[in-house]
Amino acid sequence: MRQQLFKSEKLAAVEQMGAAISHEIRNPLTVSKGFVQLLEKESISADKQKEYLSLIKEGLDSAEKVIQDYLTFSKPSIDSMDELNIQHELNQIISFLIPTANQHSVLISAEFIPSIYVLGDGQKFSQCLLNVMKNGIESMPDGGTLSVSVKKKENKVIIEIKDTGVGMTKEQMNKLGEPYYSTKGANGTGLGMMVAFSVIRAMKGSVYITSELGKGTIFSLQFPAFEYAAK
């Protein structure tokens, strides 16, 4: 099953990442703060204390996850248009993900060719790839392989990210990129794909997804290749 995903109506609402993110982080922080205030004021039972503390932790965890899905690589800077060396960028993201992969008993295999470039904002590009690869890893709770490969075809750079995980139904695939769509309960934000798609679109790229339940998923990200002018 192969589908091209780009529902502009899904994306229109999230162009303003900055506004969305402050909202997403403020909510759980406000909730946590409320429980901190309760702990300060009341003389409450040990049971209640425990309950409030666990709710506070939940709120903080959830704010932290949102930050991970949006801002892992962010430094304060305006959007830049850089010539990104794909091999270099992907190696960096993979080294960042190795601890997570180890936790899930996932092997990351990478196949690159050097000197392939795309134009984009390095931090956003990294965040996009990170979110896609992290989902791949998380789709393999009993271990497996995440294969990352890069090809160039005509004027396109094709980055393929393949997992041997749980896969998705057609209905699940259709929901990808919808804000807050997550099958991971408290472990998910449902924001990772939305961020990834929005970055791909900003880079004039596209994404094709092939998935089979119980077998795994392939994300094929395609970007216009950046060619250095011949000297």
In the list Mg ion, ligand ADP, none, the entry touching 183 (Cβ below 5 to 8 angstroms by class) is ligand ADP
149 and 179 in contact (C-beta within 8 Å)?
Answer: no
CB of 97 to ligand ADP, least distance (A): 13
Q: Answer yes or no whether residue 182 interacts with ligand ADP by CB under 6 A.
A: yes
Burial 69-93, CB ≥16 within 10 A → b, else e:
bbeebeeeeeeeeeebbbbebbeeb
Distance between start and end Cα atoms, the chain: 44
Which are the contacts of 202, defined by CB distance < 8 A and separation ≥ 6? 120, 121, 124
Size of the site for ligand ADP (CB under 6 A): 21
Among 123, 126, 127, 135, binds Mg ion (CB under 5 A): 135
Which are the contacts of 226, defined by CB distance < 8 A and separation ≥ 6? 83, 84, 117, 118, 119
Rounded Cα–Cα distance for residues 186 and 156 (Å): 38
In eight-state DSSP terms, residue 185 is G
Query: Is 116 or 128 the residue whose CB approaches ligand ADP more closely?
Result: 128
Which tokens go with 108? 């990351």
Rounded Cα–Cα distance for residues 110 and 96 (Å): 14
Q: Answer yes or no whether residue 139 interacts with ligand ADP by CB under 6 A.
A: yes
Among 120, 122, 165, 205, binds ligand ADP (CB under 6 A): 165
Q: Answer yes or no whether residue 166 interacts with ligand ADP by CB under 6 A.
A: yes
Contacts with Mg ion, 170-209, as mask; x by CB under 5 A = ----------------------x-----------------
Q: Which stretch binds Mg ion (CB under 5 A): 106-114, 131-139, 161-169, 210-218?
A: 131-139
CB of 69 to ligand ADP, least distance (A): 7
CB of 77 to ligand ADP, least distance (A): 24
In the list Mg ion, ligand ADP, none, the entry touching 184 (Cβ below 5 to 8 angstroms by class) is ligand ADP
Rounded Cα–Cα distance for residues 104 and 102 (Å): 5
Q: Which stretch binds ligand ADP (CB under 6 A): 21-29, 36-44, 99-107, 135-143?
A: 135-143
Q: Which residues contribute to the site for ligand ADP (CB under 6 A)?
A: 131, 135-136, 139, 163, 165-168, 176, 181-184, 188-193, 217
